[in-house]
Amino acid sequence: MTTTSPVTARIHANLGPANLVEHAIRRGEGHLTDRGAFTAVTIPHTGRSPKDKFVVEDATTSPAVWWEKNAKMSPAHFAQLRTDVEAHLHSHAELFQEDLFAGADPAYRLSVRFRSPNAWHMLFVRNMFIRPTAADLKGFTPGFTVLHAPEFQADPARHGTHSGTFIVLNLTERTVLIGGTRYAGELKKSIFTVLNWLLPEQDVFPMHCSANIGADDQTAIFFGLSGTGKTTLSADASRRLIGDDEHGWSDRGVFNFEGGCYAKVIRLSAAGEPEIHAATQMFGTVLENVVLDSDDRSPMFDEDTITENTRACYPIDYIPNHEPGGTGGHPRTVLFLTADAFGVLPPIARLTPHQAMYHFLSGYTAKVAGTERGVTEPTATFSSCFGAPFLPRHPGVYARMLGEKIAKHGASVWLVNTGWTGGAFGAGSRMKLAHTRAMVRAALAGALDGVTFRKDPVFGFEVPTAVPDVPSNLLDPRSTWSDADAYDAQAARLARMFRDNFATFADGVDPAVATAGPVTG
C-alpha cells in the first residue's frame, strides 16, 4: 500500500517481499543473486556499533537502567535529534514502513512500526519479525516506533552522541532512533533491548538464545555469543526450530521474539549446514555483505573481503522443520555454548543451579589470535547473560530469573565448549562438529543422566567420563595436551580471568552464586 502524507511525497506501507525487492533494485540499493536472494553492502559499518548506543535518562529509567554498560542521553538531546531525524526523513521523496510484531505469544506481543528511506531494510525487518495478518493491520497501533535514517549523520555537539552514528532508545516515549549506519542488525537488536526492558516487569525472562523442540515435544534452549554455534546447533534436522536468537520464557513456556533468522554465513556450505544454506538460495532472503561471483552472481560464502560478519536474513518458514507457532513448553535442557580458544574447558560439563547462574552472568567465549593486528594469542570475552550490549537492566535481574525458571521447571544445564582441544588456537584443533552434535544430542535425550562424572579440579563442574559416539579422551582436555604442565598453567590463567570478571558484579548476586566459579587457579 502507498499513501500520501503532507510531510513526504509517498509512504509505501506494509509492502510484501516482491514489491520491496522491486523498489530496492529500482533504487540501486543492492543486487540479486543467481537464485533471487537480495544482497546489500553496509560498508563502512559491517557490524553493530555498541559505543554509539544510548538510553535516554529520565525519571523512569534513571533508577532502573544498568548505567555501567548503557550510555546516557539527555531528554533535550533526544528531542533535538528526533526533530532532525524526522526532518531528514521527511525530505525524502519516498519512505517505506512496516508494521510488525515482536513476540510469538500474543499475551506478551509488542507491536512495532519501522520507518526507513530504504526498501531493503524494510525487507529485512519484515523477514526478521512477526508479520501481522490483514485483520491485525486494520487495528494496528504501534507500541514502539523505530525511525531509521541510515544516511543521516549526527552532530555530537548538537545531539550528545559520540560520533555520527547513533542508536538511541527512549524507553519512556517508546521511540528508537537509528542513524549513521546501514548495518541492519541494529534494527533487530534495538527491539531485543526494548523487550529486555519491558518483559521482566511481566515476569517473562528475556533470553539471547536459540530454541528447538524434539520429537518428544521437549524444548531445549541454546545460549551463546557469536561464533559459538548457537544457530548451527539449533538448526537440527531431527528437531523443530522455534527460533535462532531471541526468546522469552514465561509461565506458559518459551516463545520466539522473531519471525525470522539472522544467520552468520561466512564459510557456509550445503554439506555442513544444509537447512541454512538452502534458505540463502531463496527469493526474499537478504544477504548482508556477502561477496558475489562477478560472472554468475552466485554467493561466495568463503570470501571475507568485506567482513567476516557476513549474514543471511530469512523468514523462519524457510527452514523446513520450524515450529509454526513459534512457541514451546518449558525447557527440559539448557545449554551454554562457548568457543574456548584457550583449549582449557571440557567439551561438555554439567552445571549445578548456582554454577549455571555464575556462567550465565559470565557469558564467556574467546576470540582467536589473528583476528586483529597485534593479537597473537586468544583473547577472553565476557558478555553478561550472553548479551551484555542488550541489557538495559543489571545482569543480576536476568540471572535471578534464570535461577527461578530452572528451579521451578527442573531443567538440566550444560556447558558445551565448541572451541579448541589439544592446545590453544594455533596449537590445538577445533572441536569436530560431529562430536559436538553427538554430545548435545546425548544431553537432550537424557543419555548422560546415568553415566559416571568426574569433578573438574579447576572449575568445579561435573564432566561425563563417557558420551556415545565421542572419543573418551576428548572429554578430559588435560589429556589431549602434549604438555600437561602447559595445560595447568593455561587453565589457572583462564580461571583468574573468570574471577576478575565476576568481581565487577559479585556484590549484586547471591553469595552462593559468587562462589560457584573456579575452585583453583
Q: Is 189 a catalytic residue?
A: yes
CA 348 to chain centre: 22
Q: Do residues 161 and 154 make contact, with C-beta atoms less than 8 angstroms apart?
A: yes
Catalytic residue among 46, 190, 231, 285: 231
Four-residue CA torsion sign, 40, 265, 339, 186: positive
Alpha helices (runs of H) in 339-419, residue ranges in sequence order:
353-362, 395-409
Alpha helices (runs of H) in 172-303, residue ranges in sequence order:
185-198, 230-234, 274-279
Catalytic residue among 12, 23, 45, 48: 48
Catalytic residue among 115, 159, 189, 394: 189
Catalytic residue among 188, 277, 311, 359: 311
In angstroms, the CA 32 to CA 339 distance is 34
In angstroms, the CA 169 to CA 54 distance is 6
CA 94 to chain centre: 31
Cell reading at 67:
548505567
Q: Is 405 a catalytic residue?
A: no
Q: Is 131 a catalytic residue?
A: no
DSSP bridge pairs for 209: 223
Catalytic residue among 77, 113, 159, 230: 230
Catalytic residue among 226, 352, 393, 476: 226
Residues 6+ apart with CB under 8 A from 338: 224, 225, 228, 345, 364, 365, 366, 415, 416, 417, 418, 419
CA gyration radius, the chain: 23
Catalytic residue among 52, 105, 245, 456: 245
Q: Is 230 a catalytic residue?
A: yes
Per-residue DSSP letters for 128-161?
A: HSBPPPHHHHHT---SEEEEEETT----HHHH--
Cell reading at 152:
543521516
Q: Give how far Cα 159 sits from Cα of 168, 191, 328, 398, Å.
A: 11, 22, 43, 32
Sole residue written with cell 539527555: 74
Q: Is 203 a catalytic residue?
A: no
Cell reading at 456:
573438574
Q: Do residues 210 and 221 make contact, with C-beta atoms less than 8 angstroms apart?
A: yes
Catalytic residue among 12, 115, 159, 208: 208
Q: Is 208 a catalytic residue?
A: yes
Four-residue CA torsion sign, 157, 162, 164, 168: negative
| Cβ-based neighbour number of residue 236 at 10 Å | 18
Four-residue CA torsion sign, 290, 294, 300, 305: negative
Q: Give how far Cα 55 sits from Cα of 22, 67, 77, 82, 331, Å.
A: 36, 9, 11, 14, 32
Active-site amino acid positions:
48, 189, 208, 226, 230-231, 245, 311
